[in-house]
Amino acid sequence: MTWLFLHFPFHMTYATRTQEWMNQTDFPEFILFGFTDISELQILLFWVFLLIYFATIAGNLLIIVLIACDQNLHSPMYFFLVILSCLEIVYSSTILPRMLCSFLTGKKTISLQGCFLQYYFFGSLVGSECYLLAAMSYDRYLAICKPLHYSTLMNNIVCMQFIVGSCMLCFILNSVTTYLMSQLSFCGPPILDHFFCDFTPVIKLACGDTQKMELMAFILSPLIALVPFLLTLMSYSLIISTILRIPSNIGRQKAFSTCSSHLTIVTIFYGTLLIVYMLPKTNILKDLNKIFSVFYTVLTPIVNPIVYCLRNREVKEALSKHTSQFFSFPRSIFSRHSRLE
């Protein structure tokens, strides 16, 4: 790992710290190696990720405002979508602002407490999003497979129970893992070969026995990610089975269109998540692992508003209506002013 220090912009400082930290177990901060140390690429990456971050915030805020303003979108499906957009904003904000600061200033260090906090909120929000996507798939299952009972089985109270329950569960479960991680001792060069504090890079720097920590993570991880994934898979299996039994092509297309946007987001989210955590942890694949980590941590939050604005008919109609009203408002004021003159 020490060869990495030779490539840092401030390698003299970090090289000195390396000698000091080599035999210590109480160093105060980690060094997030990130993507590259070439200064020209740092600036380019700063502008790329800044644009992505602004687009993520703007796109998800647009979804929230659009649903809040349009009476036709006041249904459980779009209520879940508002919560998903809020999660995406907070979720991306746990990683991108610190990454942007690193690109701009060249400061790659993060305190141990800051690292544990980032891991805690990141892991908890990922789990909350998994359960939210499962709740959204269940909502689509009820709408397509049990349309006559939809209004009684899916109401505001049920929606709030889904959201509060799943968030509480994920934050409580992840607090156990984060607490155990904070009790570990770390030694050697404190370099995390990643762009954020994830479980595997942090555990690699731990001294002593980590079996208890890894066993607990092995037990809790399925509860956070695997269970909602299986629930989502089950819902869509029943949805597809029901759609295939619809006799008319128009009926099948109409039924599929109500869940196609959500299915696209689920596929992208779980696809990249599975690739990142199922790929073998080898030196050859670690850079590929970083690239796919960017997909589910940085790009997935921006995909949500894009997919729903392009693929969902009701959202497109609401967006078109409010956009035309927005642009016609100044013209109406101008014409009224002209008549008064």
Number of domains in the chain: 1
Helices and strands in the chain: count of H runs, count of E runs: 14, 3
307 with 59: CB under 8 angstroms? no
19 has a pLDDT exceeding 80: no
pLDDT at 72: 81
Average pLDDT of 279-300?
74
Phi, psi of 157 (to 5 degrees): -65, -45
Question: Which of the listed ranges 88-92, 291-295, 308-312 does the model predict with the highest average pLDDT?
Answer: 88-92
133 with 92: CB under 8 angstroms? no
Q: How far apart are CA 34 and CA 105, in angstroms?
A: 13
Domain membership of residue 259 (yes or no) is yes
> pLDDT, tens digit, for every residue of 229-245?
999 999 999 999 988 88
12 has a pLDDT exceeding 50: no
Domain membership of residue 272 (yes or no) is yes
Domain membership of residue 124 (yes or no) is yes
Domain membership of residue 276 (yes or no) is yes
pLDDT class for 94, splitting at 50, 70, 90?
Answer: very high
User: What's the whole-model pTM score?
Assistant: 0.82
Domain membership of residue 209 (yes or no) is yes
Domain membership of residue 340 (yes or no) is no
Domain membership of residue 34 (yes or no) is yes
Q: How far apart are CA 259 and CA 38, in angstroms?
A: 44
Q: What is the CATH number of the domain that holds 253?
A: 1.20.1070.10
> pLDDT, tens digit, for every residue of 51-63?
999 999 999 998 9
Domain membership of residue 117 (yes or no) is yes
pLDDT class for 251, splitting at 50, 70, 90?
Answer: confident
Domain hosting residue 78, numbered range = 2-328
335 has a pLDDT exceeding 60: no
